Amino acid sequence: MSIPHATSRKASRSTVVPRHVAIIMDGNRRWARARGLPAIEGHRRGIVALREASRAASDAGVSILTVYGFSTENWRREASEVSLLFELCVFFARTELLELRKNNVRVRVIGDWQTLPDSARRALEELQENTADCTGLLLQLAVNYSSRQELDRAVRSIAIDVASGALAAENVSEETLRDRLYTAGMPDPELLIRPGGEHRLSNFMLYQAAYSELVLTETLWPDFGRDAFNRALHDYSQRERRFGGA
């Protein structure tokens, strides 16, 4: 997939914005706890933040926005919270559809999402189907996602093909691996944003983010609005990317 760099419609014509932005949406539960609210309220408010980030990304000319919605590690949380998260997933898929279509946003889900409970899986399937004809921002939802699991899955696929003779070992390359990731054919994220005050990748896009510029902020995700997103883009625009060359 060849996606050219875009220029921001609200910035100067020379301002280069990232084609692909990734976000680790972190801090929902802490946001709720600080207000004496149940955790699910933080997750609900996180949906509003995602809506604002999607709008801001579209307006800036970003082509792909990938957000970390639910990790494989999140299954360790209390069963009641996990169940509510899946209910919220269904709620998001159904209530945001008109907004997404209005803004010409196409949704794609990556991760082991097809093993989710039926209601959540069907809701995500329908959301992808019902936005498939949109041609603007690609919103990628990483759901039941683990980067280590993604890499394990890709390596096993290559090993099976080599063992069966479908692929010669000497022909295995970096591109062979890239083509078997969930993000096959897509540019790596130039910018990775992590709200919430943590300074780690948390098993998110470990391969794809090898040279991503990182913007880490103390702002909790439910409070991460359009202005915060635009500040991250501005921060990115001030950097010189060297890819390890200097």
Residues 201, 97: Cα–Cα separation, whole Å: 29
CA 65, CA 22: separation in Å to the nearest integer? 6
In the residue annotation, 26 being an active-site residue is answered as yes
Give the domain ranges of the chain: 8-145+187-236, 146-186
Active-site residue (options: 26, 28, 144, 230): 26
Q: Which amino acid is at 14?
A: S
In 3D space, the residue among 59, 49, 60, 58 whose CA is nearest the CA of residue 92 turns out to be 49
Cα–Cα–Cα angle for 150, 104, 225, nearest 5°? Answer: 75
The predicted structure's pLDDT at residue 79: 83
pTM of the model: 0.89
Cα–Cα distance, 200 to 133 (Å, whole number): 35
CATH topology of domain 8-145+187-236: Undecaprenyl pyrophosphate synthetase (3.40.1180)
Cβ neighbors of 219 (< 8 A, separation 6 or more) are 27, 195, 196, 228
74 counts as catalytic: yes
Which residue is catalytic, options 74, 103, 130, 203? 74
Q: Please tell me the predicted confidence (pLDDT) of residue 240.
A: 77
Mean pLDDT by 10 residues, the chain (246 residues): 42 69 95 94 93 95 94 81 84 90 96 92 95 97 95 97 97 96 96 96 96 96 95 92 65
